[in-house]
Amino acid sequence: MNAILVVNAGSSSVKFQVYKASLARLVKGQIDGVGARPRLRAENADGQELVNSTFAAEHVPDIPVAVDVVGKWLRETQEVDLIAVGHRVVHGGPEYDKPVLIDDTVLTRLDRYVPLAPLHQPNNLASIRAIRSHRPELPQVACFDTAFHRGHAEVADHFAIPKRFYAEGVRRYGFHGLSYEYIAERLRVVATDIARGRVIVAHLGSGASMCALSNGRSIESTMGFTALDGLPMGTRPGQIDPGVVLYLIQQKKMSPEAVENLLYHESGLKGLSDVSNDMRELEASSNPAAKLAIDYFVYRIGLYAGMLAAALGGIDAFVFTAGIGENSATIRMNVAEKLGWLGAELDRAANAIGNLRISTPKSRIAVLVVPTDEELMIARHTLAIVSNSKISAGAPLPPKGKIA
């Protein structure tokens, strides 16, 4: 059976899904705890468990080995012939505004953006290289989190610094684009009237951002040059005065590496609470600092909602998505209260069970919960690239063999 593999490599995990050429999902899984407590889990399209295995830390020390483990399991248990692999790549820089077939030149260019996304880009590229080392003939496609935002107006993309830096690529990119692209398309199916309007989408997870959609197009985002800006996140601070960074370097004598570690790994919900970076643990905690972290998270979402509403010139709907947005009724309730001035009125019963529409009929703006599916978006793009290549234009499929 011809199939597409989708890989989403993080800092200590590799999420993967296998799709038929029809884009029906066959397998969904991940290997997490890489380098610490590795565990491989996967289920089929019906939700039945296919594997749940643990490994010694030294047996899965890094992302390339994790990709090999996933590939070995797929090769030995799933009867599929891969025609392509699609990857989430966080940063496409100024060069890539759409998915692209990967070659040596593309990989070299994407290496330039590792400093701009140090939590994600190195592992995104490591998974690509791991598969290439075993299956160099297998087409791989890079799908960028920045691409969906590339149509922003020039005034939205600039920083107020000398223009020569913009020419070098120092600009506001925005991230979580694959998620926002999926939501924009999904709204056309589940809420056609809303899809054509002015919509704020809140992608709330360990990484968090918000996006302003006008007729399904991104016109503004809370994230900028890197994935540090905007909302507070699990371990990232969100918006911060650049003077704080200067203070840490000049007065506290912190090295750039130490500051980078602080901003990417020790800040956000984790830094504020000193309890956890996991919203579920914070909501269950009685620690006052945990409450502060939650309140701060909600407060900043409310502030950015005002900013994005201004960019849109008004708002017709607010959409919650991603891990926290889809699963935390409490966060949704608290955020909706912050949106009261925009006309939001929450239906508490609908919110408690996570209905598609969680606003009351009297609410002046619709409030929705729409689950995202970045992997399906990647599969769609990958299939489109493959379909337009020589592979599907009559050339034989890659030979069956190692998946990774």
- 283: number of Cβ within 10 Å: 14
Q: In what order do the strands lie in the sheet with 366-369?
A: 217-221, 208-214, 198-204, 317-321, 366-369
Of 132, 118, 143, 110, the closest CA to residue 64 belongs to 132
- 81: number of Cβ within 10 Å: 13
Quickly list H helices, 219-287.
Answer: 242-250, 256-265, 268-273, 279-284
CA distance 6 to 140: 10
CA 7 to chain centroid, in Å, comes to 13
Catalytic-role residue among 145, 157, 229, 316:
145
**Joined tokens for residue 231:** 């909302």
- Is 145 a residue of the active site? yes
Residue 206: CA atoms inside 13 Å, Cβ hemisphere, count? 12
* Residue 391 DSSP symbol: G
CA distance 164 to 154: 14
Q: H or E stretch including 155?
A: helix 154-157
Count, residues in the chain: 404
Q: Is 18 helix (H, G, I), strand (E, B) or coil?
A: strand
CA distance 26 to 44: 6
Per-residue CA distances from 307 to 107, 221, 272, 311, 342 (Å): 36, 10, 24, 6, 12
* Residue 346 DSSP symbol: B
**Joined tokens for residue 2:** 């011809």
Query: Please, which residues bridge with residue 211 across strands?
Result: 201, 221
Contact status, residue 205 vs residue 323, Cβ threshold 8 Å: yes
Q: Is 202 helix (H, G, I), strand (E, B) or coil?
A: strand
**Joined tokens for residue 208:** 């968090």
Query: Which residues have a catalytic role annotated?
Result: 145
